[in-house]
């Protein structure tokens, strides 16, 4: 009998249309797997009622029986939603105790578009608190574990989404990327994901972290699956002031792996001293395979890359400081300690309900925005951000896209960087520049280390070049099998 959790999205859609399986059977298969593995993995913060999910599945089956042509592209297929995106009727905690009882009255645009395409939500996935972290260890609801090895982190902040896809709990999941939070978990868990161009997907209904950096993306097993989902999610939204009115093309993928005429830039700044040798060798092997498919590689320079880490950790915390000011016990969050006055209430509410990493970033951001320091820190960081973006603009005058590692290492063990915030921040050193520049980036698996942990590569392109990234990534996956492997977990 076919294992319905091992199918691609295209195979699943085809089986649903032909009647070889029903949406109820598909949802039941994933709910069963969640029941078996979730206690060990902890990929979800809140799971949707099975009865509601199955009722949606029955409704989808009713539609499928009556459809002659052009059914919704994701009809009857389960998904998971990162718990920083609003879904009406379900609590949205953002991984924080300050929002543990918050239930938004509306659904985020990106989520709604997938539901409109027929997808069936099974729950909200675990995340570092307010998406601030690289390991999902900062979640107030406990960490998610990497299905390849439970002693290792799944990455962050979208660790719950990546682990859920890798363990086949859902066929695809929604995620967000502010400084690498789609790509880094994809690399650690051996799955595929897109961080879109800033403004390509709506941020309406997203709990904000860094407003000039946040993007909403997708994690799935393959480029073909990611493109299939992204086709329904991308596009202009008048409810989001940062949404761009740029047409979404048809993401048609090639049937043959031909990359003739493609010019791929390989930046020396991304192959630095200290990178895990197995990561470098796997990424370089993938680049060589792309050359075999007809691509030409060109060494390039992105000279301001070294400043991305300090620039990001000034800009993102500054924006977080402003965005998180609303969680004060009056507008959002439980009201605590108000007997002695409003300032005591603010102190008690925020001091007791925010976690250590969130407090650290609020303090960093508030300091960077304070009188006498604004221009010296935040203002200067924005100027260097412009230089980082200029590096990419100049590079894309020479090449079509850029190939580089996602992370300097494979997934690290729990607790390995807990007492060293800088070491944790360095895990994002290769992902931050794309967010600062606003460009799209696709992460995909390209190998494994000696311990069987996945290695990820990212392809970065000019603004709104997601179609090119999908085409190239799919061509590579037609000739490689890394994305077809999954952890055979028996906990």
Tell me if 283 is assigned to some domain.
no
pLDDT: which is higher, 51 or 422: 51
* Mean pLDDT estimate for the chain: 95
Would residue 318 count as lying in a domain? Answer: no
- Chain segment 143-183, per-residue pLDDT in tens: 999 999 999 999 999 999 999 999 999 999 999 999 999 99
32 classed as catalytic: no
Q: Is residue 42 part of a domain?
A: yes
User: Distance between CA atoms of 25 and 23, rounded to whole angstroms?
Assistant: 5
How many domains does one find in the chain? 1
Domain assignment present for residue 374? The answer is no
Quick one: average pLDDT of 392-420?
A: 95
Residue showing tokens 């507008």: 331
Q: What is the pLDDT of residues 65-87, one digit of tens each?
A: 986 567 889 999 999 999 999 99
| Residue carrying structure tokens 């400081």 | 321
CATH number at residue 135: 3.90.1300.10
Q: Which domain range does residue 175 map to?
A: 4-261+399-484
Q: What is the mean predicted confidence (pLDDT) over 374-379?
A: 92
For the segment 242-293, what is each residue's pLDDT rounded down to a tens digit?
Answer: 999 999 999 989 889 999 999 999 999 999 888 999 999 999 999 999 999 9
Q: What percent of the chain has pLDDT over 70?
A: 98
Residue 408 lies in a domain: yes
Strand partners, 337: none
Closest CA to 448 of 475, 485, 403, 478: 485
- Does the active-site annotation cover 359? no
Q: How confident is the model at residue 450 (pLDDT cuts 50, 70, 90)?
A: very high
Q: Is 295 a member of any domain?
A: no
Whether the predicted pLDDT of 377 surpasses 80: yes
Annotated catalytic residue, options 86, 134, 157, 202: 157
Catalytic residue among 96, 139, 181, 222: 181
82 is catalytic: yes
Over range 94-100, report the average pLDDT. 96
Reply yes or no on whether the pLDDT at 221 is more than 90. Answer: yes
CB 171 within 8 Å of CB 218: no
Is residue 358 in a domain? no
Of 23, 82, 161, 222, catalytic = 82
Q: What is the pLDDT of residue 40?
A: 96
Kindly state whether residue 297 falls inside one of the protein's structural domains. no
Per-residue pLDDT of 455-491, as tens digits, reads 999 999 999 999 999 999 999 999 999 999 999 875 5
pLDDT at 14 over 70: yes
């Amino acid at each position: 009998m076919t294992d319905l959790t091992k199918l691609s999205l295209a195979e699943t859609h085809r089986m649903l249309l032909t009647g070889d399986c029903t949406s109820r059977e598909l949802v039941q298969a994933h709910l069963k797997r969640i029941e078996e593995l979730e206690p060990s993995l902890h990929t979800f913060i809140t799971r949707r009622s099975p009865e509601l999910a199955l009722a949606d599945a029955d409704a989808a089956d009713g539609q499928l029986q009556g459809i002659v042509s052009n059914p919704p592209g994701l009809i009857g297929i389960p998904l998971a939603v990162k718990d920083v995106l609003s879904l009406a009727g379900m609590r949205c905690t953002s991984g924080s105790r300050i929002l543990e009882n918050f239930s938004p009255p509306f659904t985020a645009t990106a989520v709604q578009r997938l539901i409109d395409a027929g997808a069936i939500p099974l729950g909200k996935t675990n995340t570092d608190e307010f998406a601030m972290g690289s390991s999902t260890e900062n979640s107030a609801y406990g960490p998610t574990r990497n299905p390849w090895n439970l002693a290792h982190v799944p990455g962050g902040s979208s660790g719950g989404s990546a682990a859920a896809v890798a363990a086949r709990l859902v066929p695809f999941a929604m995620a967000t990327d502010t400084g690498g939070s789609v790509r880094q978990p994809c690399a650690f868990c051996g799955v595929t994901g897109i961080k879109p161009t800033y403004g390509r997907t709506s941020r309406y209904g997203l709990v904000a972290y860094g407003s000039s950096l946040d993007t909403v993306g997708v994690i799935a097993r393959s480029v073909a699956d990611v493109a299939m989902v992204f086709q329904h999610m991308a596009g202009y939204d008048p409810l989001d002031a940062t949404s761009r009115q740029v047409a979404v093309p048809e993401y048609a993928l090639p049937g043959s792996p031909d990359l003739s005429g493609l010019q791929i830039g390989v930046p020396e700044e991304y192959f630095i001293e200290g990178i895990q040798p197995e990561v470098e060798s796997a990424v370089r092997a993938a680049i060589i395979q792309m050359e075999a498919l007809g691509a030409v590689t060109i060494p390039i320079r992105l000279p301001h890359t070294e400043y991305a880490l300090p620039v990001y950790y000034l800009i993102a915390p500054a924006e977080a400081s402003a965005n998180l000011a609303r969680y004060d016990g009056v507008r959002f969050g439980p009201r605590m300690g108000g007997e002695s006055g409003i300032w005591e209430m603010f102190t008690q509410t925020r001091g007791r309900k925010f976690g250590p990493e969130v407090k650290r970033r609020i303090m960093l951001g508030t300091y960077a925005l304070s009188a006498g320091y604004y221009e010296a820190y935040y203002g200067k960081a924005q100027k260097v951000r412009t230089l980082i973006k200029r590096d990419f603009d100049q590079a894309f005058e020479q090449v079509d896209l850029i190939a580089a590692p996602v992370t300097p290492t494979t997934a690290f063990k729990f607790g390995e960087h807990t007492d060293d915030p800088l070491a944790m921040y360095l895990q994002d050193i290769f992902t931050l520049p794309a967010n600062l520049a606003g460009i799209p980036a696709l992460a995909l698996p390209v190998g494994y280390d000696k311990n069987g942990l996945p290695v990820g590569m990212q392809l970065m392109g000019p603004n709104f070049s997601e179609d090119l990234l999908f085409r190239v990534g799919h061509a590579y996956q037609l000739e490689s099998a890394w994305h077809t492997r999954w952890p055979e977990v028996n906990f």
